[in-house]
A = this chain, B = another copy of it.
């Protein structure tokens, strides 16, 4: 019943490259056992890696993920640990909200710029050949 994986199998299953798994090991996030030189990943290792990848997807840094995993591994002060994790999540939510606002701002800016440029193109179609002293593209953007 012992499911194990080679680095190739597991990285493929997780949708990452072997390099990524070796990198995580180098950073102390995972510690597969060895058979000779080759890494052997257990089901537990896989679960842990899935948590790591989940953490990455939702925007935590590898250092933060390692901190949380290490803490939960020690199992000390479970309740305190939960509160700590909650505060981590809270701050991450703030960061994500900020990023979202920034992106909305950027979308607005790009969209407005496109509108201006499209306007310039339409003018060109109408009055063709006229030598309107063309404004440089991005100047339209501010």
Enumerate chain A interface residues (CB-CB to B < 8 A).
47, 50-51, 54-55, 57-59, 68-69, 71-73, 75, 78-79, 81-83, 85-86, 89-90, 92-93, 96-97, 99-100, 102-107, 109-111, 113-114, 117-118, 120-121, 124, 134, 136-139, 141-142
Residues B109 and A57 in contact, CB atoms below 8 Å apart = yes
Residues A96 and B110 in contact, CB atoms below 8 Å apart = yes
Residues A137 and B82 in contact, CB atoms below 8 Å apart = yes
CA distance A51 to B111 in the complex (A): 16
Given the known inter-chain contacts A100-B104, A100-B107, please indicate yes or no for A79 contacting B138, CB distance below 8 A.
no
CA distance A8 to B13 in the complex (A): 52
Copy count, this protein chain: 2
CA distance A30 to B3 in the complex (A): 57
Residues A78 and B121 in contact, CB atoms below 8 Å apart = no
Minimum CB–CB distance for A66 against chain B, Å: 12
Minimum CB–CB distance for A1 against chain B, Å: 21
**A85: B residues at CB distance < 8 A:** 117, 137-138
Residues A92 and B110 in contact, CB atoms below 8 Å apart = yes
Given the known inter-chain contacts A93-B114, A103-B103, A107-B96, please indicate yes or no for A82 contacting B138, CB distance below 8 A.
no
